[in-house]
Amino acid sequence: MLNTDETLNRRAKALSVALRERDAGTSAHCNRVVDLALKLGAKRGLSNPELDLLRISAELHDVGKIGIPDSVLLKTGKLSDDEWATLKTHAAISQRIILELDLPNAQMAGFVVRHHHERYDGGGYPDGLAGDAIPLLSRIIALADTYDTMASGRVYRKPVPHGKIMETLSAERAHQHDSSLFPDFSSIIEQSAYKSAQP
């Protein structure tokens, strides 16, 4: 008989496969975010249970994009205000999907995933949380997520060079992201296979 953690891991993996079938690009992005987030979490001294929760949350942070129409998710042009509002629902959708795992860690993972697009200055979504009110694991995922989104590009935008990404992240410290995480992330990404290949 599987224990709770093993069951959660298997269900999380099943959701990851479903996301890969829906959108291989988003699935690959989630895998890169897992690696970067775990390295940052370890450098910050998270416990093994915290790292397990971080891994599952990072793996599933975009699973809610399963519920976003192709006309929005795969659009090659600029999103309209209504389309952008639709895309932003993916964090709350991710939480609802994860809660259906109906296991103790699913509650915590859902909470972390819901808040990975909050901004440190309170200007994010879905709840406008600010500062330390944003869960630490959400803040870690947010930083890894932002870097990889810029580094890997999207259907509507080419990959951004590493130096430009770091300039942007540095300028956004304490606004978009937790500034205390930036030095550790900076050292991690310089050694990472996921550092932007653009000069």
Torsion angles phi and psi, residue 48, rounded to 5? -60, -45
- The 10 Å Cβ neighbour count of residue 41 is 24
132 exposure class (CB count in 10 Å sphere: 0-12, 13-18, 19+): exposed
How far apart are alpha carbons 11 and 5 in whole angstroms? 10
Angle at 189 between CA 144 and CA 148, to 5 degrees: 35
Rounded to the nearest 10 degrees, the angle between the axes of helix 104-114 and helix 136-152 is 60
How far apart are alpha carbons 1 and 178 in whole angstroms? 41
Does residue 39 carry a catalytic annotation?
no
Which among 13, 65, 75, 158 is annotated as catalytic? 65
Catalytic residue IDs: 65
